[in-house]
Amino acid sequence: MNILGISGAVSHDPSTALFIDGELVAAAEEERFIRDKHAKGKYPYEATRFCLEHAGIRPADIDVVAFPYAAIPLSSRARWHYAARHWYAPDRALDALFSGNRRFHRNLRKTRKLVEDLGIGNGNARIVPVEHHLAHASSAYHLSGFKEKTAILGIDGKGEYATTFFGYGENGRIHKVKEFYDPDSLGGMYGAMTEYLGFEMLDGEFKVMGMAPYGDPKRFDFSRLIEFDETSFRVNNRLINVVGLRRYKDAAGKGYYFSPKLVDWLGPKREGDEIDDPYIDYAAAIQQLLEDVALGLIDHYLGDILRETGKICYAGGVALNVKLNQRIIARPDTKELFVQPAASDAGTALGAASYVANDLGETVQPMRHAYLGPCYSTEQCIEACQQHERQPQWQHIDDVTGCAAKILADGNPLAWFQGRMEFGPRALGNRSILGAPNVKGIAERINEQIKYRERWRPFCPSMLDRVAPELLLTDHPAPYMTFTFDVAHDWKQRVPEVVHEDGTARAHVVTRDANPRYYALIEALEKLTGNGVILNTSLNRRGEPMVCSPTDALNMFFGSELQYLMMEDILVRKQA
Cα angle for residues 313, 339, 148 (degrees, 5° grid): 30
Its sign, for the CA torsion 110, 142, 364, 50, is positive
Show Cβ contacts of residue 109 under 8 Å, excluding neighbours closer than 6 positions.
Answer: none
Q: What is the C-alpha separation between 526 and 529, in angstroms, rounded?
A: 5
Which of 12, 54, 132, 142 is labelled catalytic?
12
Residue 540 phi, psi (nearest 5)? -170, 170
**Closest C-alpha among 3, 562, 14 to residue 342:** 14
Rg (CA), the chain: 23
CB atoms within 10 A of CB 279: 24
What is the distance between the alpha carbons of residues 471 and 506, in angstroms, rounded to a whole number?
Answer: 12
What SS3 class is residue 41? Answer: coil
3-state SS track over 112-139:
HHHHHHHCHHHHCCEEEECCHHHHHHHH
Cβ–Cβ under 8 Å, residues 305 and 153: no
Contact between residue 177 and residue 168 where contact means Cβ atoms under 8 Å apart: yes
- DSSP code per residue over 225-283: GEEE-SS-EEE-TTTBS--GGGS-B-TT--B-SB-HHHHHHH-SPP-SSS--TTHHHHH
Instruction: Give the three-class secondary structure for 195.
Output: helix
Q: How many CB atoms lie within 10 A of CB 530?
A: 10
Amino acid at 233: F
Is the Cβ–Cβ distance between 570 and 396 less than 8 Å?
yes
- Assess contact for 281 and 216: CB atoms under 8 A: yes
φ, ψ at 570 (rounded to 5°): -125, 150
CA 83, chain centre distance (Å): 30
12 is catalytic: yes
Buried b (16+ CB within 10 A) or exposed e, 327-354: bbbebebbebbbbbbbbbbbbbbbbbbb
| Cα 9 to Cα 15, 41, 129, distances in angstroms | 10, 9, 10
Half-sphere exposure of 140 (CA within 13 A, CB side): 35
Is 560 within 8 Å of 450 (Cβ atoms)? Answer: yes
Q: Of 203, 563, 251, 240, nearest to 415 (Cα)?
A: 563
**400-409 and 516-529 helices cross at what angle (nearest 10)?**
40
Q: Say if residue 218 is exposed, middle or buried (CB neighbours under 10 Å; 0-12, 13-18, 19+).
A: exposed
Active site residues: 12
